[in-house]
Structures are given as structure tokens and as C-alpha cells.
């Protein structure tokens, strides 16, 4: 008995390892490249947090619009995480990962419920592909931004609703409909496209067992619930002024069509195939399965296909809604990685529908060996494609990490940044939010809530015992550079923290004897010469380059000084070199 059971045990262990690998890769990606710092929309939450802390928050504070969205339920999650962890934003990104894990488990349970156990190889190949899709790094923008909880929460609500309708057949139909409606209600007040869950669920609602009268009654009740939800959503609604006109799609139908197919195709990535081409293929596959479903609506295939059609319709409706609302921004905007989180559901659905259709058409596997071999080959190719695109997304994650990590260090020393230079291109706070004055105001709220601490006094070490870097250009030769106010001064050099493995993300620039910084620059340029000279690979990217606008420097002679911030010691440490300049009107 043991010998016979052993191969099956080995297969199960192997499958567990295969299914675990995308999750492990994603956990590494999130833990490595996410940064615990507020970014863009996060700053808007501080008004709510301040009211909660003061005890004056009310129901309207949670239902107020955020752009065109009402994010009632995400705000509750944000508040719980913020006040239980001093707003550790990395916990929000881990919560997103948890929601994605729940999504995959539910998808797997739905697949098992309507699968053919006689063809386990095809079942596992499809679900391995779906696992890779669910945890795909192509969604890197959402994975690394805690505020995007809404996107994953809506997916969870929709998949949960489909699961409730499809799997627990022992529950009475009306109870299943009630529980599914709660899921759709939560989705509706998480982001605007959550309202689409009601429409997308219609195939699943119709598939519930019962006679034609029961089915019509359920559909009618479901539509009434949808109308009530939409009515509540649009009470006191105001269209954001900066959004393009919704009639753009009628004025520029070709651009709108390109946008629509691009947003669909980008779920596969854009590095191998043109997204428009890929989008057309996916859309035609979706259309084919819908036609097949309608032609055979009383068949076993249609019953099994209904939950996957609900997921597919949600993604298609989202693509249409986004095209109407965003196509005016240009086709390039359709390649935003945050949209992938929704459109991946369309690819997942098409894969499952493809599996069901193949099993429906070629049930006798022994007589169709070549068919199933070809299918497995195609799935293997798709899996390789997903893996390739995810690994390429790591480079994007590194860029986001570099910017936000620099912004985090910049925010910590906000009291030492020259406020008069808020619009300078060297303003590192712009990595977090474009309005520096707003950040300065909200940073006080952060400190009041004890979510962050911003030092008021940090020593400036002008003559350190060790070498921390150098200003190479312009060279320090004792000569004074004569420059006009309209000129731009280029500085180039390198910077390190010799006693730490964590290297400085920023070089900070001051002039004269000022103990504040008028400009900053990223430390991320290749300097193999520094790494070789100091015998450490940590310094391979220790180079920096800054173009300084002299408008922020008063007329007369002065010197430019470079500094790095040692976070552990809380010290500003000067680099070698003080180029002299003379600014004239």
C-alpha cells in the first residue's frame, strides 16, 4: 500500500512546491522593494486619521469621494492598520499579498468543483498558469503601494461571491444570493469599478438551480439591488474636474479602441508581443466562449462555465469603463501596471474556459493524444511567458524602490530642507508627492499622531575621520567659477557610508555655512572605479550627478558643500571638496 501511495505523495509534494514558488517570489519582491513611507494618495488619508485621533470622525468622513471613488471599506482597513502599527505602510502591502493568496485559493476551489478529475495533468497545468498569473510581478505598482488595497479587495469580493454561488450547494439558494450580495456591496464601496461586480455576477446568478420562474425572479432582485447600490453611490457625487470628457470615445473611436485592446493585452505584458495584438486575441477568445455558452446554455459545459464568465465579464466591463473614463489621457496610460490586477481575471477565465471546452469536445483522451499534447505545449509556453515578464518587472520594482527610499530619507530630514527651493528639480520630496508645501503641512500631522518622528537637531560633521565621498566636478582648484543667475551648475561625484551596508540614497547640497540643503541628488550612478579603489562591491553604484539652478543661491561668492546623512548615527557628514562659485545677476 505504501509503495503504491508513494508516487502520489511525491506528486502532491511537487505540486505544492510549484504552487508555492510564485508566492515566495512575490513575498521576496514585496519585502525587498516596498518602502514604509506615504506616497501620493496616502497623504490624503492623514485628514481622516487626524479626525479619528481627535474623536470627531463621522460616517461621512468614510464615504466622502476620493477622486471618483468611494473607498469606505478600504478606509476602515487603512485606519485599523495605521493605529495598530503607527502606520507601517509595509503591512498594507503584505495585506495585499494575503488577499491575493485568498483569491487563488478560492479560484482553485472553484476549479476543483467543476473539473474533470480524469484529466489531472491538464487541470494542474492550467492552475499552475493561474497561480503564476495571480501572483505575477507585472502588477508591481499595486504590490509595492499599500494604498492599492482596494484593487485586491474588490477582486476578493468578486471571487468570493462567485465561490459562494458556485461551490457550497448545500446552502439554500437565497442564502447564497444574500451572501454574494454582501460581497458585491463591499466591492461597490471600495472603488468605482466595484459596482461592476453586480453586472458581472449575472451569469452565476442565472446558473443557480431552479425553474425558469425562480431564475427570472433572482435576476430581477439582483438588478434591483444593483440599482439601489448605484443610487447610494451617486448621492452628492461630483465628477473630478481634471478627468477627460466621457464623450472622448465618440470623438476619437480609433484611439479609444486602441486603448481598450491595449489595456486588455497588457495583462500579458508588453515586452514580447504588441499589447493591442494580444488584447485582440484575448477578446476574441472571450467572445467565442460567450457565443458557445449561449448556444449551449442548458448544457453541462455552460453550467461549469458560468463562474468563469462572471470573472471575465467583470474584467471586460472594467476595460470598457476605464476606456470611457481614461482614454482621453492617451493610449500610453493604458499600460499602467495597476490595471493588470483586474485584467488578469480575464486571462484566468479564458484559460479555465479553454480547459472546459477542450474536455467537452474531446472527452476521450486516449483517442486525442495529439490534441492534449498540443494543449500542454501551449500552456507551457504561456507559463514561460508569464515568468519572463515577471522577472522583467523586477527592474521596475528597483526603480520604484530607489525613488521611494530616497523620498523616505528625504522626509526624515524635512526640517533641514530649504523651503524656498520647493519647486527645484533637485527636490527629493517630489518622489512622494508633487506639492512639497502640502507634505510639509501633513508631516506635522504625522508627528502629532506619532506615526513618524522628524529630528529638529542633527549635528553637521565637517571633518570626518573616514572618507565618505568626493565632489569631483567642478574640481576644487582654488579658482572661483563666475556664473550668472540664469546658468546651471553641474556637479558630479560619489558618496558612501563606509561603516554600513546600507548606502546613502541621497547626496545633500548646501552653500556657504548654511545648515540646510538647497538641492539633493540620487546616489545611483555606476562608479566601478570607487568600488575597485575601496575594495567593496557595495560602492558599485555610489556615483551621483546634480544640475543646480543658481536661482536659489544669493549673489556673491560662496562655496558648495556635499553631505550624506548617516541615519543610524543621525549625523550629516561632509564630502571632500568645496568648489567656489561667484553668482552675478
Statement to judge: residues 324 and 176 lie in one domain: yes
Q: Which of 94, 179, 163, 104 is nearest to 135 (CA)?
A: 104
SS3 content of the chain, % helix, strand, coil (to 5): 65, 10, 25
Instruction: Measure CA 197 to chain center.
Output: 21
Q: Which of 254, 283, 255, 256 is nearest to 267 (CA)?
A: 283
Cell 502520489 -> residue: 8
The C-alpha atoms of residue 560 and residue 77 are separated, in whole angstroms, by: 47
User: Dihedral sign, CA of 551, 553, 554, 560?
Assistant: negative
In DSSP terms, which residues pair with 583 in a beta bridge? 483, 556
Statement to judge: residues 105 and 248 lie in one domain: yes
Burial 434-450 (b: 16+ CB within 10 A, else e): eebeebbebbebbeebe
pTM for the model stands at 0.90
Long-range contacts of 285-292 (CB under 8 A, 24+ apart): 285/350, 285/353, 285/354, 286/312, 286/316, 286/346, 286/349, 286/350, 289/350, 289/353, 289/354, 289/357, 292/357
Statement to judge: residues 386 and 529 lie in one domain: no
Count the helices and strands in the chain (H runs, E runs): 20, 12
Residue 83 belongs to a domain: yes
The C-alpha atoms of residue 156 and residue 99 are separated, in whole angstroms, by: 7
Lowest mean pLDDT among 166-175, 242-251, 365-374, 459-468: 365-374
DSSP label at 145? -
User: Dihedral sign, CA of 138, 144, 147, 153?
Assistant: positive
Last residue of a domain, one of 382, 402, 422: 402
Lowest mean pLDDT among 294-303, 375-384, 453-462: 375-384
Average of per-residue pLDDT across 72-97: 95
- Which DSSP string corresponds to 309-322? HHHHHHHHHHHHHH
Give me the pLDDT at residue 420, please. 66
For residue 302 the three cell numbers come to: 455552460
Residue 489 belongs to a domain: yes
Last residue of a domain, one of 356, 377, 402: 402
Statement to judge: residues 471 and 371 lie in one domain: no
Statement to judge: residues 394 and 476 lie in one domain: no
Is the pLDDT assigned to residue 5 strictly greater than 60? no
Q: What is the pLDDT of residues 219-270, one digit of tens each?
A: 999 999 999 999 999 988 887 777 777 788 788 889 889 999 999 988 776 6
Is the pLDDT assigned to residue 333 strictly greater than 70? yes
Cβ neighbours around 150 below 10 Å, total: 27
- Indicate the SS3 state at residue 515: coil
Give me the pLDDT at residue 109, please. 93
Statement to judge: residues 360 and 501 lie in one domain: no
Statement to judge: residues 505 and 390 lie in one domain: no
- Indicate the SS3 state at residue 481: strand
Is the pLDDT assigned to residue 31 strictly greater than 80? yes
The C-alpha atoms of residue 366 and residue 373 are separated, in whole angstroms, by: 11
Residue 409 belongs to a domain: no
End-to-end CA distance of the chain: 93
Q: Which of 259, 320, 254 is nearest to 286 (CA)?
A: 320
Statement to judge: residues 461 and 393 lie in one domain: no
The C-alpha atoms of residue 202 and residue 415 are separated, in whole angstroms, by: 55
Give me the pLDDT at residue 2, please. 40
Residue 49 belongs to a domain: yes
Residue 473 belongs to a domain: yes
Average of per-residue pLDDT across 57-82: 92
What is the average pLDDT score of the chain? Answer: 87
Residue 7 belongs to a domain: no
Cell 515578464 -> residue: 389
Residue 413 belongs to a domain: no
**CB of 455 closer than 8 Å to CB of 417:** no
Cell 474556459 -> residue: 353
The C-alpha atoms of residue 447 and residue 476 are separated, in whole angstroms, by: 41
Statement to judge: residues 377 and 497 lie in one domain: no
Statement to judge: residues 461 and 397 lie in one domain: no
453 prior amide bond cis, ω within 30: no
For residue 200 the three cell numbers come to: 458581472
Contacts of 418 (CB under 8 A, 6+ apart): 514, 516, 517, 518, 552
In the chain, % of residues over pLDDT 90: 52
Lowest mean pLDDT among 223-227, 546-550, 560-564: 546-550
Residue 206: half-sphere exposure toward Cβ, Cα within 13 Å: 19
> For residue 293, which phi and psi values (nearest 5 degrees)?
-65, -45
Residue 509 belongs to a domain: yes
For residue 551 the three cell numbers come to: 536661482
| CATH number of the structural domain spanning residue 484 | 2.60.40.650
DSSP label at 107? H
Q: What is the pLDDT of residues 98-142, one digit of tens each?
A: 999 999 999 999 998 876 555 677 788 888 889 988 998 989 999
**CB of 576 closer than 8 Å to CB of 462:** no
In DSSP terms, which residues pair with 494 in a beta bridge? 470, 543
* pLDDT band with cut points at 50, 70 and 90 for residue 3: very low
Is the pLDDT assigned to residue 4 strictly greater than 50? no
Q: Which of 354, 216, 390 is nearest to 281 (CA)?
A: 354
**Number of folded domains in the chain?**
2
Q: What is the pLDDT of residues 400-432, one digit of tens each?
A: 999 999 999 999 999 998 876 655 656 788 889
Statement to judge: residues 388 and 520 lie in one domain: no
Statement to judge: residues 202 and 277 lie in one domain: yes
For residue 334 the three cell numbers come to: 493604458
Which structural domain, as residue segments, surrounds residue 491? 457-584
Last residue of a domain, one of 402, 434, 467: 402
Residue 60 vs residue 358, higher pLDDT: 60
Amino acid at each position: 500500500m505504501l509503495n503504491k501511495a508513494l508516487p502520489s505523495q511525491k506528486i502532491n509534494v511537487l505540486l505544492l512546491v510549484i504552487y508555492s514558488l510564485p508566492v515566495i517570489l512575490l513575498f521576496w519582491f514585496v519585502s525587498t522593494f516596498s518602502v514604509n513611507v506615504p506616497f501620493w494618495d496616502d497623504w490624503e488619508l492623514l485628514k481622516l486619521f487626524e479626525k479619528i485621533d481627535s474623536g470627531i470622525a463621522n460616517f461621512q468622513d468614510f464615504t466622502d469621494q476620493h477622486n471618483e471613488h468611494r473607498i469606505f471599506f478600504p478606509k476602515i482597513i487603512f485606519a485599523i492598520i495605521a493605529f495598530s502599527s503607527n502606520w507601517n505602510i509595509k503591512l498594507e502591502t503584505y495585506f495585499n499579498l494575503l488577499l491575493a493568496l485568498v483569491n487563488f485559493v478560492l479560484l482553485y476551489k472553484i476549479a476543483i468543483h467543476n473539473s474533470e478529475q480524469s484529466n489531472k495533468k491538464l487541470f494542474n497545468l492550467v492552475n499552475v498558469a493561474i497561480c503564476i498569473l495571480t501572483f505575477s510581478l507585472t502588477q508591481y505598482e499595486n504590490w509595492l503601494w499599500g494604498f492599492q488595497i482596494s484593487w485586491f479587495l474588490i477582486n476578493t469580493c468578486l471571487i468570493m461571491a462567485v465561490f459562494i454561488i458556485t461551490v457550497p450547494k448545500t446552502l439554500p439558494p437565497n442564502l447564497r444570493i444574500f451572501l454574494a450580495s454582501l460581497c458585491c456591496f463591499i466591492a461597490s464601496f471600495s472603488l468605482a469599478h466595484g459596482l461592476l461586480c453586480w453586472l458581472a455576477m449575472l451569469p452565476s446568478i442565472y446558473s443557480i438551480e431552479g425553474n425558469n420562474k425562480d431564475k427570472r425572479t433572482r435576476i430581477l432582485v439582483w438588478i434591483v439591488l444593483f440599482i439601489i447600490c448605484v443610487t447610494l453611490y451617486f448621492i452628492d457625487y461630483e465628477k473630478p474636474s481634471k478627468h477627460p470628457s466621457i464623450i472622448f470615445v465618440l470623438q476619437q473611436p480609433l484611439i479609444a479602441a486602441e486603448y481598450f485592446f491595449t489595456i486588455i493585452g497588457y495583462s500579458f505584458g508588453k515586452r514580447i508581443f504588441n499589447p493591442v495584438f494580444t488584447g485582440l486575441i484575448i477578446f476574441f477568445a472571450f467572445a467565442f466562449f460567450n457565443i458557445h455558452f449561449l448556444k449551449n446554455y442548458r448544457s453541462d459545459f455552460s453550467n461549469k462555465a458560468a463562474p468563469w464568465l462572471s470573472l471575465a465579464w467583470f474584467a471586460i466591463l472594467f476595460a470598457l469603463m476605464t476606456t470611457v473614463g481614461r482614454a482621453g489621457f492617451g493610449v500610453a496610460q493604458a499600460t499602467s501596471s495597476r490595471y493588470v490586477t483586474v485584467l488578469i481575471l480575464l486571462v484566468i477565465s479564458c484559460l479555465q474556459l479553454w480547459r472546459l471546452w477542450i474536455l467537452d469536445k474531446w472527452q476521450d483522451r486516449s483517442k486525442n493524444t495529439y490534441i492534449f499534447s498540443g494543449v500542454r505545449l501551449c500552456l507551457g509556453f504561456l507559463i514561460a511567458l508569464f515568468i519572463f515578464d515577471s522577472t522583467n518587472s523586477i527592474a521596475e520594482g528597483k526603480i520604484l524602490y530607489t525613488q521611494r527610499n530616497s523620498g523616505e530619507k528625504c522626509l526624515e530630514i524635512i526640517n533641514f530642507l530649504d523651503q524656498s527651493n520647493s519647486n527645484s528639480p533637485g527636490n527629493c520630496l517630489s518622489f512622494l508627492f508633487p506639492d512639497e508645501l502640502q507634505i510639509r503641512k501633513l508631516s506635522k500631522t504625522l508627528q502629532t499622531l506619532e506615526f513618524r518622528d522628524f529630528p529638529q537637531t542633527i549635528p553637521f560633521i565637517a571633518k570626518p575621520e573616514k572618507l565618505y565621498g568626493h565632489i569631483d566636478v567642478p574640481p576644487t582648484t582654488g579658482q572661483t567659477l563666475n556664473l550668472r543667475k540664469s546658468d546651471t551648475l553641474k556637479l558630479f561625484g560619489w558618496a558612501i557610508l563606509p561603516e554600513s551596508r546600507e548606502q546613502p540614497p541621497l547626496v545633500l547640497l548646501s552653500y556657504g555655512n548654511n545648515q540646510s540643503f538647497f538641492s539633493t541628488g540620487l546616489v545611483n550612478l555606476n562608479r566601478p572605479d570607487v568600488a575597485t579603489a575601496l575594495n567593496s562591491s557595495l560602492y558599485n553604484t555610489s556615483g551621483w550627478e546634480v544640475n543646480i539652478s543658481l536661482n536659489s543661491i544669493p549673489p556673491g561668492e560662496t562655496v558648495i558643500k556635499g553631505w550624506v546623512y548617516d541615519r543610524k548615527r543621525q549625523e550629516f557628514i561632509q564630502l571632500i571638496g568645496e568648489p567656489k562659485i561667484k553668482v552675478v545677476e
